[in-house]
A and B are shown apart, each in its own frame.
Chain A
Amino acid sequence: MLRVTELDAGYGFLRVVHGISLQVNQGELVALLGPNGAGKSTTLKCIAGLVRPWKGDIAFRGHSIGGLRGDLVNGLGIGLVSESLNLFTGMTVYENLLMGAYSVPEAEKRRRSLDFVFSLFPRLAERRPQLAGTLSGGERKMLAIGRALMGGPSLLLVDEPSLGLAPKLTQQVFDALRKLSDDGLTILLVEQNVTATLEMVDRAYVLEQGEIVLEGSAQKLSESEHVKDVYLGVMA
């Protein structure tokens, strides 16, 4: 469904991503793991059209989308939950969700998406008239995911869902992502929280200093010596 080939990207004169190739198949839940500054977020932003790739190709359903503007990428059915969430803090929870369905013309479809998001995160339904800027960290995260879902994406990109959340809340958010994936949504996830992520995903890539050093099924990765050494803190 998504194929990234030899992607190079960066900011100014600084190259952050060095020739990354990865692939996400229909219905998969794939994680992009790695330490801070490895280029995970940049890769995600390139796919979503927020950062322009320097080189390489990004193909979604066989069509090249590299360098396409963010709003057009969204229109193709790619939803992004960014690291900083980028919520509209001066708008209510309801308005934020409504904005998520900005490019969905059918009112009926919007209403169904809204019901779905509220059933996934009942907390948001309670907070419906509240300004997004006044929500707690966990609620913001839910709202950002909810907003991305409102557009009815076929591919969801999620950047660091566990960032800044207590373990219990992280688990809640992960459960929601797992549920979405089980319902058939294709998800590409960026995470630093390796243990919890490998328990949930189907497949993962490990990114270090802008390059992919490992890839494979979650099972294979959690048994890999490198991952055990560097990420899981297991003494060999």
Chain B
Amino acid sequence: MSLAVQRLSREFRSPVTTGLIAGVLALAIFGVVRGGTFILVDSLVTGAIWALVAAGLALTFGVMGVPNFAQGEFFMVGTLSGYLVYTALSGVQGRPYVPFVTILMALVVGFVLGALVDLAVFSQMRRRIREGWVMNTFVVTVGISVVMINAHQLIWGTDYKGIVAYFDGPPIHVLGVSVALDRVFAISVAAVSIAGLWWLLSYSRIGRAIRAVSQDEPGALMVGINVGRMRTLTFAISSGLAALAGATLLFQFPSFPFVGVKPLYVAWTVVILAGLGNVGGAVVAGFIIALLEANTGFFIGSAWEDVVPFALIVLILAVRPTGLFGRAVRSVWEQ
């Protein structure tokens, strides 16, 4: 616990960071007062999901040095497997466990597919590439993304494959806003997953090993960690999280080949805002971006939803090139 406080206080030592955080809080309060509580609820739901997708992205970059531009396609895989599993279970729909089975299956599919992609692509590249790792893997992930999009199109076509809702019960009322059960579901799933990820990375043996690889690779080898396996696992976890997010948001993002584009861009915005490779920061930044989106959508117009977060990125990178919480960048780039 004292360690968490220690880390937190270090994060907030910079006046720029503190100022930005204060600004975001002010924006949240402004949104609630002038717009309504629903802005806050909206931001929490989408923010939690962005946090989930972005945490995976940050993890992949921090541990493997791979800027994963195929993360959106793992989100797409999640929506697709969610849709396929859910419709396959149509006989028992309405049972409360069905949505849970659905998203769990999506998680497994994403995890396994991620592991396979790492074994087939990145493990091979690690054996052969000595220089330009980040740039090369960047191009390769774009390639993987194109392949996955086209595979979806080839096999399942381009039409929207969505569902109305996982739960058809009446919405619940929180702080004077009625929130659909699916959104409650989404935020709970995201909260549990993020807590799970946090626990895994902080306290489990495997999580410590993953962090060890990201902090010092020769050091990890020296204490007997199978570095290659940890990387495969990292990519699998990250893909699994993206797929889980996709399946959870199926009611909002019907599956089609390009469904992953928006989550990908948002996740990258989040990760750049947080500082590349910083998983904890990505979670916080996920909520910040969602809050910005919700406020922009309401006060300026939904067409501007993507503009404002991106403008903020430009601004932040001009002031703080390492991002809000960026210290992990150094450890990755200076190796």
Chain A residues at the B interface, C-beta cutoff of 8 Å: 48-50, 69-72, 74-75, 79-80, 82, 85-92, 95, 98-100, 102-103, 129, 131, 147-148, 150-151
Q: What are 5 residue pairs bridging A and B, where the CB atoms are less than 8 Å apart in the complex?
A: A71-B221, A71-B225, A72-B224, A74-B223, A87-B216
User: In the bound complex, how far is the Cα of B221 from the Cα of A79, in angstroms?
Assistant: 11
Neighbouring A residues of B222 by C-beta, 8 Å: 48, 50, 70, 74, 79-80, 82, 86, 148
User: In the bound complex, how far is the Cα of B205 from the Cα of A166, in angstroms?
Assistant: 36
Return the chain A residue nearest B6 by Cβ: A131
User: In the bound complex, how far is the Cα of B221 from the Cα of A91, in angstroms?
Assistant: 16
Return the chain B residue nearest A81 by Cβ: B222
Neighbouring A residues of B225 by C-beta, 8 Å: 71, 99, 102
Interface pair A129/B218, CB less than 8 Å apart: no
List residues of B (220-278) whose CB comes within 8 Å of A's CBs: 220-227
Neighbouring A residues of B211 by C-beta, 8 Å: 88, 90-91
Neighbouring A residues of B219 by C-beta, 8 Å: 82, 85-88
Q: Nearest Cβ distance between residue B119 and chain A, in whole angstroms?
A: 17
Q: Nearest Cβ distance between residue A187 and chain B, in whole angstroms?
A: 16
Neighbouring B residues of A91 by C-beta, 8 Å: 208, 211-212, 215
B2 at the interface (CB under 8 A from A): yes
| Interface size class of chain B, counting residues whose CB lies under 8 Å from the partner chain | 20 to 34
B32 at the interface (CB under 8 A from A): no
Neighbouring A residues of B3 by C-beta, 8 Å: 92, 129, 131
From B205, B218, B224, A86 is in contact (CB under 8 Å) with B218
Q: Nearest Cβ distance between residue B39 and chain A, in whole angstroms?
A: 35
Count of chain A to chain B residue pairs whose CB atoms are closer than 8 Å in the complex: 76
B165 at the interface (CB under 8 A from A): no
User: In the bound complex, how far is the Cα of B226 from the Cα of A88, in angstroms?
Assistant: 16
User: In the bound complex, how far is the Cα of B205 from the Cα of A100, in angstroms?
Assistant: 12
User: In the bound complex, how far is the Cα of B224 from the Cα of A48, in angstroms?
Assistant: 11
List residues of B (279-335) whose CB comes within 8 Å of A's CBs: 331
Interface pair B226/A71, CB less than 8 Å apart: yes
B142 at the interface (CB under 8 A from A): no
Q: Nearest Cβ distance between residue B112 and chain A, in whole angstroms?
A: 24
B125 at the interface (CB under 8 A from A): no
Neighbouring A residues of B224 by C-beta, 8 Å: 71-72, 74-75, 102-103, 151
Neighbouring B residues of A69 by C-beta, 8 Å: 221, 226
Q: A71-B227, A95-B208 are in contact. Are A88 and B221 (CB under 8 A)?
A: no
Interface pair B216/A98, CB less than 8 Å apart: no
Q: Is the interface of B mostly helix, strand, loop or mixed?
A: helix
Chain B residues at the A interface, C-beta cutoff of 8 Å: 2-3, 6, 205, 208-209, 211-212, 215-216, 218-227, 331
Q: Nearest Cβ distance between residue B178 and chain A, in whole angstroms?
A: 43
User: In the bound complex, how far is the Cα of B225 from the Cα of A88, in angstroms?
Assistant: 13
Neighbouring B residues of A90 by C-beta, 8 Å: 211, 215, 331
Interface pair B6/A151, CB less than 8 Å apart: no
Q: A48-B222, A131-B6 are in contact. Are A88 and B227 (CB under 8 A)?
A: no
Return the chain A residue nearest B214 by Cβ: A90
Interface pair B215/A89, CB less than 8 Å apart: yes
Neighbouring A residues of B208 by C-beta, 8 Å: 91, 95, 98-99
User: In the bound complex, how far is the Cα of B227 from the Cα of A95, in angstroms?
Assistant: 18
Interface pair B223/A147, CB less than 8 Å apart: yes
Q: Nearest Cβ distance between residue A198 and chain B, in whole angstroms?
A: 27
Q: Nearest Cβ distance between residue B143 and chain A, in whole angstroms?
A: 29
Interface pair B2/A100, CB less than 8 Å apart: no
Return the chain A residue nearest B213 by Cβ: A88
User: In the bound complex, how far is the Cα of B211 from the Cα of A131, in angstroms?
Assistant: 14
Return the chain B residue nearest A148 by Cβ: B222
User: In the bound complex, how far is the Cα of B99 from the Cα of A140, in angstroms?
Assistant: 50
Which has the most chain B C-beta neighbours within 10 Å: A69, A85, A99, A151? A99
Known contacts A80-B222, A85-B219, A91-B211; 12 further A-B pairs (Cβ under 8 A): A49-B221, A50-B221, A69-B221, A75-B224, A86-B216, A87-B219, A88-B211, A88-B216, A90-B211, A90-B215, A99-B223, A151-B223
Interface pair B218/A70, CB less than 8 Å apart: yes
Neighbouring A residues of B2 by C-beta, 8 Å: 129
Q: Nearest Cβ distance between residue A176 and chain B, in whole angstroms?
A: 19
User: In the bound complex, how far is the Cα of B224 from the Cα of A102, in angstroms?
Assistant: 7
Interface pair B215/A50, CB less than 8 Å apart: no
The 10 closest A-B pairs by CB, nearest first: A86-B219, A70-B221, A74-B224, A103-B224, A88-B215, A71-B224, A86-B216, A102-B223, A86-B218, A80-B222
Neighbouring B residues of A86 by C-beta, 8 Å: 216, 218-219, 222
Which has the most chain A C-beta neighbours within 10 Å: B211, B212, B216? B216
User: In the bound complex, how far is the Cα of B3 from the Cα of A105, in angstroms?
Assistant: 26
Which has the most chain B C-beta neighbours within 10 Å: A71, A91, A131? A71
Q: Nearest Cβ distance between residue B205 and chain A, in whole angstroms?
A: 7
Neighbouring B residues of A150 by C-beta, 8 Å: 223
Interface pair B221/A74, CB less than 8 Å apart: yes
Return the chain A residue nearest B203 by Cβ: A95
Return the chain A residue nearest B205 by Cβ: A102
User: In the bound complex, how far is the Cα of B212 from the Cα of A95, in angstroms?
Assistant: 10
From A49, A74, A99, B212 is in contact (CB under 8 Å) with A99
User: In the bound complex, how far is the Cα of B220 from the Cα of A71, in angstroms?
Assistant: 8
